[in-house]
Amino acid sequence: MAVIAPLVQRSRRGDNPRAMLHVNDITYRIGPRLLLDHATVALPDGAKTGLVGRNGSGKTTLFRLITGEITAEGGSISLPRNARVGQVAQEAPSGPETLISVVLAADLERGALLAEAETATDPFRIAEVQTRLADIDAYSAEARAAAILAGLGFDEATQRGPCSALSGGWRMRVALAAVLFSEPDLLLLDEPTNYLDLEGTLWLTAYLSRYPRSVLLISHDRDLLNTAVDGIVHLDQGKLVYYRGNYDSFDRQRRERQALQLKMKKKQEDQRRHMEAFVERFRYKASKARQAQSRLKALARLEPIAAIADDSVAPFSFPDPAKQMAPPLFAMENASVGYEPGKPILTGLNLRIDDDDRIALLGSNGNGKSTFAKLLAGRLEADGGRFKRIHNLQIAYFAQHQLDELDPSLSPYQHVRELMEEATEAQVRARTGAMGFDKAKMDTPARDLSGGEKARLLLGLATFSGAHLLILDEPTNHLDIDSREALVIALAEYAGAVILISHDRHLIEASADRLWLVGNGTVTPYDNDLDDYRRLVLEGPATPGSRRQDPRDNGLDRRKTAADRRAKVAPLRREIKEIEGLIEKLQKELRTLDGRLSEPGLYGEPERASKLAKERADKTRQIAAAEERWLALSADHESAMTEDAG
């Protein structure tokens, strides 16, 4: 089977002869929903471009239009003549073929030339074939294919084994290796890191930054979009807008553009109100009728500036533990764990986890990160050494495979109802809304929710009771960039301990204070930063003196800054909660006083009425003072969190 999509060829060039891809006035809808609305963009030849936009905005649909899988109702898409377009196959290779042979077969020209070289008899044609084989570096192809497979996590023995021996996620890596090896003129990648670990993501980021041809990449991985691309196309409200620079540059330009658009819209609205007021005042006055008619025509010609759509995402909220536990939460001395007695996966575990730890686990898939997470979560028992877990420890555990454990027939509201059997409907709906579901979505069956919505629901259910330890195993696979940022903020606000497994470098650097390396059959603290780890993954162990000295972009410093910020924010959050409790208590007392003041015959007792009125006035002043303090603290808290997001 083919492991890349059929190569798409166009006989027409775009209007811009230097453009690799020209999307011109494309319109496409699914049923009544308009995904692309006269969208236009041109990508320069050789550009590496990120395609970003909210989940469901139409990014994958645009890819299908580019490859010719579907047809637009209007507009056109053009590429240079004979341009090869490649993308990862929808079906991963699963037959008896070896991994290396599947990847080599992706270069169709090489395969055809090698076959012809075996049968050609014309000396001139033989010379042509051999010259072309030399031009495309055909005889070093196996080494190049092996290097790509190794970068994606396959050792030499696995490369020589059959695809059928691999799980689905690893087969997708083989399909990715195949399309990378084929080096199409335009490489289309749709969320390629979703089936990679951090190590594979670091390798892919480096590979794409060196890729010699054009790339169009759908991704929600901020680090990948900051490192591997030189332009961003934003798909929003059916339109495509190109921004030069990486994701951070795009984010800044977009905010500046929004601010300018809001300013222009306000100016236009002021102008419109002034003109409408003039018309209304003078349209029936003979001496001003001509000016009034002129302004009516000007109003009709005044193109409205589009309002900025509310692009905010619902926040995540992880309830704090009701009671802090005395550290350590876990203590291990020469502990081991595995799935079968006497066959440990991890041994020699000498570790301690405290109540405020934020730890990210590093290490390639298959080294035991999930095994260690299951040990902490109580899904596996230690089978050697000493392993101590504090009594009554509440643990919330999230893993991607749990998405399939949601009851597809139940809505978010019904899932929450199962945890709140005695609560009123209003209370259940309030809690479901706090998870980020609006009125329509909270009654939608889980089968009809998007991947991101299912992940949000599962996170809300896992953390429902206020855990002391939150274990997150790849929580971002279905989350867009803004939702990932909301997750960063929620973890910063959360008062418990966190164990994090993720291929998202930005999430790790913003949320983790400590790094532990899972490898060689054990887990050990890693005292360097993610830049050092990236070098270790891509280049091998660093030589003495090779460590980067610039402290301005140091992962250790970033993690320390994040920890310091959480330490600063925690007292604010505690005081905010205390004041909220005080306000609730004062308001309850105020309601009691109001009830007494409304008693019949009270004003026949003037002294008691005066005393109650004075108490009410005092209570009102106390509430006002508490609310002022709450507002001030909330502003300080928001400022601190804004610094964190920045």
Q: pLDDT tens digits, residue range 554-565?
A: 445 555 555 565
Token reading at 106: 């992706």
Q: What is the pLDDT of residue 567?
A: 63
The predicted model gives 248-266 an average pLDDT of 77
Higher pLDDT, 331 or 299: 331
Query: H-helix or E-strand containing 360?
Result: strand 358-362
Burial of 434 (0-12, 13-18, 19+ CB in 10 A): middle
Token reading at 209: 């930054």
Residues 183-222 pLDDT 10s: 999 999 999 998 888 999 999 999 999 999 999 999 999 9
Backbone φ and ψ of 361, nearest 5°: -95, 125
Residue of 478, 325, 456, 290 whose CA lies nearest to 395: 325
Residue of 531, 532, 534, 488 whose CA lies nearest to 512: 488
SS (H, E, C) 192-222: HHHHCCHHHHHHHHHHHHHCCCEEEEECCCH
Banded pLDDT at 177 (limits 50, 70, 90): very high
Q: What is the pLDDT of residue 308?
A: 47
Q: What is the pLDDT of residue 293?
A: 61
Please check the confidence at residue 3 and state whether its pLDDT lies above 50: no
Banded pLDDT at 283 (limits 50, 70, 90): low
Q: What is the pLDDT of residue 630?
A: 76
Measured between alpha carbons, how far is residue 127 from residues 107, 124, 156 in Å?
Answer: 20, 5, 34
* Report for 259-263, 440-444, 449-453: range of highest mean pLDDT: 440-444
Backbone φ and ψ of 79, nearest 5°: -135, 165
Residues 485-544 pLDDT 10s: 888 888 888 888 999 999 999 899 888 888 999 998 999 999 888 888 888 888 765 433
The secondary structure of 22-34 as a DSSP string is: EEEEEEEEETTEE
Please check the confidence at residue 5 and state whether its pLDDT lies above 60: no
Banded pLDDT at 292 (limits 50, 70, 90): low
What's the gap between Cα 469 and its chain centre? 22
3-state secondary structure of 473: strand
Q: What is the pLDDT of residue 605?
A: 78
Burial letters 82-116, b for 16+ CB under 10 A, else e? ebbbbbbbeebbbeebbbbbbbbbbbeebeebbee
Identify whether the C-beta of residue 245 lies closer than 8 Å to the C-beta of residue 232.
yes
The predicted model gives 410-425 an average pLDDT of 91
Please check the confidence at residue 233 and state whether its pLDDT lies above 90: yes
* Residue 18: DSSP 8-state: T
Average pLDDT, the chain: 82
Token reading at 510: 């913003």
Q: What is the pLDDT of residue 21?
A: 92
Spatial distance between the Cα atoms of 494 and 511, rounded to a whole number of angstroms: 11
The predicted model gives 223-252 an average pLDDT of 92
The predicted model gives 77-89 an average pLDDT of 88
3-state secondary structure of 243: strand
Banded pLDDT at 40 (limits 50, 70, 90): very high
Burial of 297 (0-12, 13-18, 19+ CB in 10 A): exposed
Identify whether the C-beta of residue 373 lies closer than 8 Å to the C-beta of residue 512.
no
Residues 335-353 pLDDT 10s: 999 998 888 999 999 999 9
**Helix and strand element counts for the chain (H, E):** 20, 19
Higher pLDDT, 17 or 103: 103
Backbone φ and ψ of 35, nearest 5°: -90, -45
3-state secondary structure of 524: strand
CA atoms in the 13 A half-sphere facing the CB of 354: 5
Predicted model pTM: 0.71
Residues 559-603 pLDDT 10s: 555 556 566 666 777 788 788 878 888 888 888 888 877 777 776
Residues 90-143 pLDDT 10s: 777 888 889 998 998 888 888 888 888 888 888 888 888 888 888 777 788 889
Backbone φ and ψ of 629, nearest 5°: -65, -40
Beta bridge partners of 428: none
3-state secondary structure of 95: coil
Spatial distance between the Cα atoms of 54 and 126, rounded to a whole number of angstroms: 53
Banded pLDDT at 81 (limits 50, 70, 90): confident
Identify whether the C-beta of residue 97 lies closer than 8 Å to the C-beta of residue 162.
yes
Instruction: Give the lowest-confidence range in 4-18, 260-274, 625-639.
Output: 4-18
SS (H, E, C) 100-157: HHHHHHCCHHHHHHHHHHHHCCCHHHHHHHHHHHHHCCHHHHHHHHHHHHHHCCCCHH
Vertex 640: Cα angle to 585 and 354 (nearest 5): 80
Q: What is the pLDDT of residue 186?
A: 94
Banded pLDDT at 369 (limits 50, 70, 90): very high
Please check the confidence at residue 263 and state whether its pLDDT lies above 80: no
Identify whether the C-beta of residue 177 lies closer than 8 Å to the C-beta of residue 103.
yes
Q: What is the pLDDT of residue 313?
A: 75
* Residue 46: DSSP 8-state: T
Please check the confidence at residue 548 and state whether its pLDDT lies above 50: no
Q: Which residues contact 159 (CB under 8 A, 6 or more apart)?
A: 98, 99, 100, 146, 149, 150
Query: H-helix or E-strand containing 296?
Result: helix 289-301
